[in-house]
Amino acid sequence: MDLHEALSDYKLNLSLVENKSKKTIEAYMSDLTHYIAYLNQKNINNVEEITILTVDTYLNSLTKEYSSNSINRVLASVRSFHKFISLNHESIKDPTLYIHTHKHNEHLPIYASVQDLKVLFDSFSNSDIDIYHKTILLTLYSCGLRVSELCSLKRNDVHLSEKILKVTGKGDKERIIPIVDACVQQMELYLNLVRKNWQKKALPNFFINQYGRVLTRQYVHNLIKKKCEECNLNPNLSAHSFRHSFASHLLDGNADLRIVQELLGHSDIQTTQIYTHIQNKRLVNAYDNAFQSFKKKEDD
């Protein structure tokens, strides 16, 4: 069976039988068009010629440019295609039956060290704009907020006398987060010296800019990029890196993993466990560094 004919039949099936959305069909077709172009380059023009080795070689060819998640998405498209063909043509076997998904690459999150954060927070002056910027970043870090949670934080959700704030996170789940004294003091400074002068109308948001408008995520991202460059910090630090740092530093201080999970608003403890891998990696690095000089002497 000709590959392009098979692809045309599969596309009709997605549309007329499975009633897939236009975007879903486009996604499948994009993956399969790339797949068939690869097969044609290998002089494979018929479905019957495709073997398990053919599919496996194709998937391996994607590893240089695709993440494991993307490869598994492509595999899902290819598998669905071959399943449809084999079900409708008994003589054609499905070569994807014994193909396994690619393991996910575990990318450890980028975080800032305590020393990095000290350099950052010590770099601000007492000007209104610097008070504003320091309050943004200190709240982001010391409360472990997502940048969207920071920007949508309401004035009525911040209770400085009780040293807590209420956050509405993913899935409209609410959580209570304690505010450390340094952040309480910085927030009070911002409210008393800056925000009241910038407010043009009664906005409910805690953070507003000098034009009286709501803080945006893009503003936070640009601020972090600018400060990293100014303080000679890792240029890959992002708004989410502050949240990673919050979790990592809590665990360094022997906080219980379940408490960190609750503070971050993770629904699954496995999501929080990534930070234990950061600790393990740092432990290994510290061990290697500690014995580096001993190794050199031994080699001598």
DSSP letter string, 188-254: HHIIIIIIHHH-SS---BS-B-TTS-B--HHHHHHHHHHHHHHTT--TT--HHHHHHHHHHHHHHTT
Question: Residue 78 contacts by C-beta under 8 Å, 6 or more apart in sequence?
Answer: 31, 32, 35, 55, 58, 96
Q: pLDDT per residue over 240-297, tens digit each?
A: 899 888 988 888 888 877 888 888 887 766 666 666 655 555 555 544 555 555 544 4
Output the pLDDT for position 118: 95
CB atoms within 10 A of CB 185: 14
Q: Which contacts qualify for 201-208: CB closer than 8 Å, 24 or more apart?
A: 204/154, 204/155, 204/156, 205/151, 205/152, 205/153, 205/154, 205/155, 206/153, 206/154, 206/155, 206/157, 206/158, 207/132, 207/135, 207/136, 207/150, 207/151, 207/153
Amino acid at 75: L
pLDDT on residue 297? 46
Cα separation, 269 vs 267, in Å, equals 7
Active-site annotation holds for 28: no
Domain locations in the chain as residue ranges:
3-88, 114-278
Question: What's the CATH class of domain 3-88?
Answer: mainly alpha
Q: What is the reported pLDDT for 264?
A: 84
Q: Is 266 a catalytic residue?
A: yes
Tell me if residue 146 is catalytic. Answer: yes
Helical segments of 42-157, H only: 52-61, 68-88, 114-122, 128-142, 147-152
Global model pTM greater than 0.75: no
From the candidates 34, 166, 266, 282, give the one annotated as an active-site residue: 266
Choosing from 82, 134, 227, 243, the catalytic residue is 243
Task: Give the tens place of pLDDT for each residue, 192-212.
Answer: 999 999 998 889 999 999 999
170 tagged catalytic: yes
Helices (H) and strands (E) in the chain, counts: 15, 3
In the predicted model, residues of the chain with pLDDT beneath 70 are: 102-109, 268-300
Q: Is 163 a catalytic residue?
A: no
C-beta separation of 96 from 78 below 8 A: yes
Residue (of 136, 111, 108, 106) closest to 241 by Cα position: 111
pLDDT at 97: 83
Residue appearing with tokens 């000709």: 2
C-alpha span between 25 and 266 (Å, rounded): 32
Q: Is 34 a catalytic residue?
A: no
Distance CA 61, CA 53 (A): 12
Among residues 11, 79, 240, 282, which one is catalytic?
240
* CA–CA distance, 199 with 184 (Å, rounded to integer): 20
Residue type, 139: T
Catalytic-role residue among 42, 163, 170, 281:
170
Asked whether the beta carbons of 9 and 31 are under 8 A apart, the reply is: no
What are the residues whose beta carbons fall under 8 Å from the beta carbon of 130, sequence distance 6 or more? Answer: 124
Q: Which CATH superfamily is domain 114-278 in?
A: Intergrase catalytic core (1.10.443.10)
Say how far apart CA 252 and CA 244 lie, in whole Å. Answer: 12
What single DSSP character describes residue 97?
T
Distance CA 68, CA 60 (A): 10
Run of H or E residues at 178 = strand 174-178
**How many beta carbons lie within 10 A of that of residue 69, not counting itself?**
10
Q: Name the catalytic one among 134, 146, 195, 227.
A: 146
Give the dihedral of Cα atoms 235, 237, 239, 244; nearest 10 deg. 180
